[in-house]
Structures are given as C-alpha cells and as structure tokens.
Structure 1
C-alpha cells in the first residue's frame, strides 16, 4: 500500500454533501462536523472554512475541517474548533473490526495524506481537537506533531434516572419539582441570549454568540431535527434557565445554556431540573448517551459529576512553525 493511492485536496462547495454523508457514517462524525454547522460557525467567528478531503479512487474516505485566519505578527492559524464547539477535526470511514492490520494501515495512510496537504499550506500554527471517537493519534506523533488530552463527560441514558444521581442533585431536583416550575420548549433566541449575557457577566465576559447567530443556528437545528431549546420558568413566568441541546445519530450534546442566580434556588435546583427533564426527553428519542461537556472547567465539573457520568478523554494534535515556537518560548521566558 502506497501513499500515492490516497489523494488529499480541498473540497469544493458542491462536494459538501459527500462530506456530510461521510460525517453520518464516520465513528468520529457528529453534528459539529456538519458542513452547514461549520459554515455558520465560520461566519460568526470571521474565519475561512476549509474542508480537506482524502480520496481513494474518487471515493471520499476521510477528511478534516479547519477554520483559517490570519493573525497579526503570528502568521496564518488553522484550528478545528470554535465557540461552543468542543471538537470536530479529523474523520475517517468506519474500520473493519475483523481486519485490524488492514484497517490501521488504511487509517494511517489516510491521515498521512491529509497531514501532507495541511502541512504544505505553511500555516504558522495548526491545532486540531478531535472527537472522543478518534483514539489513535500515533500517525500524528510519528510526524512530529504534539498531542494533548482533554476530557468530557458522557451520561448513559439507559441507566440515567433520578436515583442514579448524587444525593444532593436528587434532593435539589425533588425540591424544584415542588415549586410548580414550568419546563417547556422555546424558540426565543433573544431571551436565551439575555440569560447567557447575565451568566457571562459574572465572569466579566461576553457570551460566544449574539442573537443573530443563535437564530441562525436554531433555524439550522430545527430544519434538520438536530436540536431544540428548552426553558424553565417560575410561576410568575420568569425564565430561570435556558438550554439548547443538540443530537445526531450517535448521541446528544448539552450545547449552550445557563441559569440565573436565584435566592429561591441557591442550590441550582432549577438548572438541575432542566438537565433531568431533558435527559428524560432524550430517553424517549431512543438516544443511547449524552455528552454533557464540562470536563475541562473546574467550576463546572462539580455540577456535571452530580449526574454520575463517565469521564471520556479526547485528543488535541498540534504542529507549530519554528517562528511560533520561538514566540512561545519568548513569552514563557518573559512571564517567569
């Protein structure tokens, strides 16, 4: 098997349906790798979307999506993720579990072809955060790329019920249920952004997306039946929490949301009831699991672990130019 058998190049716009078909079939594919999702994100972050595909005999068998942007004094950066998009990165066709040697060789050749193309673009920095389902980063390490690990939390819906949660979470949910709170669907992007703005203000930050972008995402999710928004209101009609959840053919994702501070729910009961209520909805959809994120932010892990999830690693691969390595070295020296 030779590398010449695999050809990597940029995909044309008319080839994006081929990409989306591969995303649906690939173990690493998710809603975050959908071409329309990626284009909305690229527009919102003022980046240029590049979809690199690997072909074998004119068949698309793998690829990598990148957001490309010129950085002043730092060259051109190519990264795979963005706001509220924890991973996407490299995807490949499903391997044959009965032919491990052949599958690993094909996977390695596909990754090498993609890396050859990406490296030849002379980006000053390449950073790709991959799906948790991409477990083999050896081809990148052999090429001199660096690897790092991040974490997320999965909840197995088959075993997720209120009795499986921590004692404090269970107590908060039961108390919130007695307060006559209203859990319902919503399409109000403005109120969702209002909640996010208040939540982010506590960290002296701005929410990742404005109302226009949230509306565009919601239109995409609704048109593809891949996401929806839920809110929790009190008896006076005040919105206490708002969340947008996504799903694909593999699992669901806690995508965007937050809860307002409340003297009545100082234990976060409204927020916990929101999570529990949507988990029950997702069970009815027949989805096997939920990726609830929060694995890399210490202030959020205590909330996530109360739902008794399992910790799942995922991998970041990076390649920096000599110039960027020198800049980082200088910055580290100056910060000592």
Structure 2
C-alpha cells in the first residue's frame, strides 16, 4: 500500500497557500486564475499521513487531461520544507511524482501537462512504462526570466543594469520613444480595446482563432484586474494615439507577460519595445524583481523578448496517448 494519499482539493485557501509556498507554484495555478480562464479543471492534494506534500491541477476535456493556451504552466507543485535535507527532498519528489503519474494514468485516457520551469527532474515521466509503448513524450520548451531589480529606483534609466543589458536596437527604440515623448500608463478598463487589437492582429497574421477564446481572454483579464493580479499598460505617442497594449500578471514570486498587441494603425517603430520596457519599470517599482516573459518558442517573438536580456529557462510539456 502506498504511503501517499491523493485527494481532490476543496479548500481553496489551503490550495492557494500551497501555490504561494511551492517553488513550482505560479499565478496559473492560483484558484482565481483557474476559475477565470474558461475551462474545466480539477485540483488535488498529495498527503503523506496527514502531512501535505504536494498538489497538482489538471485541465479536463471529457476524460482527457489537456493543455490550454491560457494556462501556461501547471504540473506538480511540491510543498517546500526548508528543514528537509535536499538529498531526502529529491528522492521524495521522485516518489511523489511516480504516485501522481500512476494516478493520472489510471484515471484518464489521454494526458497533456505543461510543467513549471522549476521542475528539474523529468525521470518519473520518462521512466513510466519504460519497457512498454504507451510512454510519456516530452516536448522541450523555453522561456526567459528577466531580473528587473535595477529598475526599482534610478536617476538615469540608461545607467541601469537592465538598460545596459538591452540589445542595441532596443536601446535605440527606447531613446526614440523618449525623444518623441511617448507615454505609458495603466488603464485597466481597456480590455475591450485590447481584444479588438488582438483580433485584428490574428487576422493580419492569418492565425486561426475562435470567438470563445477572445471572450475567455477578456473575462480572464477583467477578473485578474479586479483582484489586483494584473495591469493593462497603454502606450501612446505624442499625439495621444494608442500604439500598443500589454497585459502583465503577477504572483508572490514574479510577474508574467500574459498578452500584448499593437494598434493595427500604430506607426511608431518603438511601440513594442517601450510597451515592455515601461511595464518593467512600473512592475519593478511595485517591488517585483523578476519577470517571466512567457515563451520564446517562435523566431520573431523569441528574439524580440531576448533582446531585453534575461536568462533562458527550459521547461517541458509532456503528453501520453495523443
């Protein structure tokens, strides 16, 4: 008989505390976020005796665990016990992962999970059904973590470590924006306008989208803003014409780039760069020291985000049965 016990979580306060305390916990596992993205989900606790050891959220479609574009990370959230030796913690995390994987394999037909960048050991997934054909397939993904501490307080932004770390084009864009008197401000009532821009962006790029996704995006933004977990940042040029809109969310560990879109009629070359840069400055002044730029997995978006500096972080999506 297993020494671990898996139970469906019903105490959302206890769940959110686990998300906050776990190194793998992110805003995307917070109960407010999960209740707002528009999909069906379940959350579970893992106990050893009466001691909470871990938890995991899953997104459901019928009897399958699936990915959702709006929920960037999920996977296993380990409780952090600072009194436990790291050698013991590693072996226990391995055992817990095996227990969770067996539970998922027993109860769901197909499985897709996006793991946190803070999951360092993929072996429990890779070794499951090791000699069989029905295995987990890993998909290597990348994001960028950017330390923005130097933007918390400064007299000259160009003397900050963050500015010095920018690629030359990003520096030039920021100087152009300052020279042309662009301004960035928060307007958390502009979710409708953002969705309009985003829809036009998808059309211009010949990207397929469903109106239900746009509805879910707007609802998600509005609820996160209402709960002081997100801001909508607006960039205007000197003639008060909006050029770009970004949406950043945060938890107790870092901020995350969630959405962004230009005004289709915006003509300023600096618009994307200054939208991100000024958002970084505001978030740093709120006491946030790190930003997850949430994905650098396509050439154009990847190089743009890496132009701000930052450290490349690997994470995995794992799937079985698809």
Partner residue in 2 for 1:51: 43
Displacement after TM superposition at 1:114 (Å): 1.6
Partner residue in 1 for 2:90: 104
Whole-angstrom CA distance in 2 between matches of 1:232 and 1:58 = 51
Task: Confirm or deny that 1:232 pairs with 2:235.
Answer: yes
TM-score (norm. length: structure 1): 0.83
Partner residue in 1 for 2:297: 296
Q: Point out where structure 2 has 5 or more consecutive residues left out of the alignment.
A: 130-135, 151-160
Whole-angstrom CA distance in 2 between matches of 1:183 and 1:203 = 26
Whole-angstrom CA distance in 2 between matches of 1:243 and 1:175 = 19
TM-score (norm. length: structure 2): 0.87
Displacement after TM superposition at 1:98 (Å): 6.0
Match of 1:249 among 252, 256, 265: 252
Q: CA RMSD of the aligned region, Å?
A: 2.2
Give the 5 Å matches for 1:8-23. 8-12=6-10, 15-23=11-19
Whole-angstrom CA distance in 1 between matches of 2:223 and 2:108 = 34
1:287 is paired with a residue whose SS is coil
Displacement after TM superposition at 1:310 (Å): 1.4
**CA 1:213–1:101: 2 relative to 1, 3 Å:** same
Whole-angstrom CA distance in 2 between matches of 1:291 and 1:304 = 10
Match of 1:67 among 59, 62, 74: 59
**CA 1:10–1:263: 2 relative to 1, 3 Å:** closer
What CA deviation, in whole Å up to 9, does each residue of 1:49-80 have, x standing for no partner?
1212212223432122111113xxxxx4202x
Displacement after TM superposition at 1:263 (Å): 7.0
**CA 1:21–1:208: 2 relative to 1, 3 Å:** farther
What CA deviation, in whole Å up to 9, does each residue of 1:23-53 have, x standing for no partner?
0100000100012211222xx2xx4212122
Whether the 8 Å contact between 1:84 and 1:208 is mirrored in structure 2 is: no
Partner residue in 1 for 2:224: 221
**CA 1:209–1:311: 2 relative to 1, 3 Å:** farther
Partner residue in 1 for 2:195: 193
**CA 1:212–1:264: 2 relative to 1, 3 Å:** closer
Match of 2:139 among 148, 151, 156: 148
Partner residue in 2 for 1:7: 5
1:40 is paired with a residue whose SS is coil
Displacement after TM superposition at 1:213 (Å): 3.2
Whether the 8 Å contact between 1:130 and 1:316 is mirrored in structure 2 is: yes
Whether the 8 Å contact between 2:236 and 2:244 is mirrored in structure 1 is: yes
